[in-house]
């Protein structure tokens, strides 16, 4: 745990001093360090061999994903973090825990999914321009479907309730923020339509709870625009 805390101190220090004037090599180094930390925290938190320190690892993962001082302003870094680290680990660990009837391990996966949803919400302004955004969104909705028994329970546990709340906040931001509206119009990626199709297939009763405030108006089709190339960090 002391080593993990030291890693986070280094992340905080480097994140605080990291600015737009940094070189490309520094950007690459920073993103690699951050993704390595996220990967290790997540793996240790979900490894039965380290059950005694799973809580500490989860705290470190939460800080690496949500702490304001650990600044990662790169869409490609978040894309790779979600697609190469968090989605695969949560999905595989939940399938194994569910098959074995391991309720504590399932609950740990649910907590990690909540961190993922909050991170997705907090970094929407970074990842909104990604051409792969709709694919990331579909994978996130796929995880929600995997946990549907908890999310659709008559009386949700607090973690499941917060997951639904984070998803609702995401959809509200996509619906009401003019920037997000313009990006969706330009790309033709209607996130509400995707959400309605996927969640409506396994839980039509959940849709009214997620629907953004005010009358929702479908986005008109538009010609996609060319986006500037994104920095692409390599996963350690």
pLDDT tens-place string over residues 75-128:
999 999 999 999 999 999 999 988 888 888 889 999 999 999 999 999 988 898
pLDDT of residue 181: 78
Q: How far apart are CA 48 and CA 54, in angstroms?
A: 8
- Alpha helices (H) in 46-157, listed in sequence order: 54-66, 75-80, 87-100, 103-122, 124-127, 133-146, 148-151
Which residues neighbour 3 within 8 Å (Cβ) at sequence distance 6 or greater? Answer: none
Between 42 and 1, where is the model more confident? 42
Is pLDDT of 220 > 80? no
Give the rounded percent of residues in the chain with a pLDDT score beyond 90: 26
Between 116 and 22, where is the model more confident? 116
What separation in angstroms does the CA of 138 have from each of 174, 182, 189, 217, 233? 15, 21, 12, 21, 23
Which residues neighbour 135 within 8 Å (Cβ) at sequence distance 6 or greater? Answer: none
């Amino acid at each position: 745990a002391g080593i993990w805390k030291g890693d986070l101190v280094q992340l905080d220090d480097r994140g605080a001093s990291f600015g737009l004037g940094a070189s490309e090599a520094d950007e690459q180094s920073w993103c690699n360090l951050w993704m390595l930390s996220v990967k290790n925290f997540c793996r240790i938190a979900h490894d039965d061999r380290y059950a005694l320190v799973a809580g500490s690892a989860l705290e470190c993962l939460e800080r690496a994903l949500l702490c304001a001082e650990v600044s990662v302003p790169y869409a490609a870094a978040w894309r790779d973090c979600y697609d190469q680290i968090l989605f695969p680990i949560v999905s595989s660990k939940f399938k194994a825990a569910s098959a074995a009837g391991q309720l504590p391990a399932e609950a740990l996966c649910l907590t990690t999914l909540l961190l993922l949803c909050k991170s997705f919400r907090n970094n929407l302004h970074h990842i909104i321009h990604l051409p792969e955004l709709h694919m990331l969104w579909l994978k996130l909705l796929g995880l929600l479907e995997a946990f549907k028994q908890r999310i659709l329970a008559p009386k949700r546990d607090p973690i499941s309730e917060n997951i639904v709340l984070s998803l609702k906040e995401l959809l509200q931001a996509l619906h009401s923020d003019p920037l997000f509206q313009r990006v969706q119009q330009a790309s033709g990626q209607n996130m509400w339509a995707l959400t309605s199709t996927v969640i409506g297939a396994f839980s039509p009763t959940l849709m009214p709870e997620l629907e953004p405030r005010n009358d929702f108006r479908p986005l008109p089709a538009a010609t996609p625009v060319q986006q500037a190339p994104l920095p692409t960090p390599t996963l350690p």
